[in-house]
Amino acid sequence: MNTITNRREIDVGERHIREVNREMQAAVKEGYPLRVINTLSRHNLGVGLPPGADVSFEGSVGYYCGGLNTGAIIDIERNCGWAVGEGMSDGHITVGGYAGMSCGAAMMGGTIHVKGNTGPRCGAAMKGGNIVVEGKIGYQSGFMSHAGKIIALEGAGDSCADALWEGEVWVAGEIDSLGVDVKVVEPTAEEVGEVDAILEPLGLVDSSRNWRKMISGQRLWFFESRDANAWLMI
């Protein structure tokens, strides 16, 4: 037990990840908050953590950290690899640095807060929840997002919001280019208020931001087979 922070420490090192995750699950079941040390950027740490879990990862982690999260509070001290929080349904994940490709892919609920930039396809196929990125989101972020919000405070890469369904991408800052079938709309004051309500607990509200809200142009929703060009552009 770490008596300074009252957190139980779990050492990753070269141990088998299945063994590490089992130890994490057992400690969480006993009610302990956890600090996971010596992570060595290992993959698949903290997968399927339950509601009530409170876990912090020292340093950087690899792919799929916090995947299938069902309600845990997860803090990653530095960077993470691909697919942090993929498929999560609830909870909160904080990334202290950069997040790799497919951050929050297919997530259904909860919040992911990235303090740096993200790689390509942030929020791809997400079905709910919110992703807040203090930096810039990468190429084709929001690709085929079905629901939820991606909020980027410092811009977006190429093909932003490509092939959106009912998800929303909000960007303050420069956008390198828009994706296929994207419509940029002026948000209402009420809609901006909804975004501020997401940002407020993170201390990120700034009334001076010039938001661009991206939604689906719906061309791909009602295509005809003869209109092949609409799909060939994706």
Q: Give the domains, in start order, of the chain with CATH numbers.
A: 8-232 (2.160.20.60)
pLDDT score of 221: 82
74-115 pLDDT, tens digit each: 999 999 999 999 999 999 999 999 999 999 999 999 999 999
Q: Give phi and psi for 229, each to the nearest 5.
A: -60, -30
Find the angle CA(92)-CA(93)-CA(99) to the nearest 5 degrees.
150
The encoded tokens of residue 186 equal 């002026």
Q: With a cut of 70, say whether residue 166 has pLDDT above it.
A: yes
Find the angle CA(52)-CA(17)-CA(101) to the nearest 5 degrees.
80
Q: Kindly provide the b/e burial profile for residues 81-95, where b requires at least 16 CB atoms within 10 angstroms of the residue's own CB.
A: bbbbbbbbbbbbbbb
Tell me the whole-structure pTM to 2 decimals. Answer: 0.94
pLDDT score of 2: 40
Residue located via tokens 């999560």 = 88
pLDDT score of 219: 83
Please tell me the distance from the alpha carbon of residue 179 to that of residue 93, in angstroms, as a whole number: 27
133-145 pLDDT, tens digit each: 999 999 999 999 9
pLDDT score of 33: 98
CB atoms within 10 A of CB 156: 32
Looking at every residue in the chain, the average pLDDT score rounds to: 94
pLDDT score of 73: 98
Q: Give phi and psi for 87, each to the nearest 5.
A: 70, 10
Rounded to an integer, the average pLDDT of 6-20 is 96
197-228 pLDDT, tens digit each: 999 999 999 999 999 999 999 988 876 655 66
pLDDT confidence tier of residue 231, bands split at 50, 70 and 90: low
CB atoms within 10 A of CB 203: 6
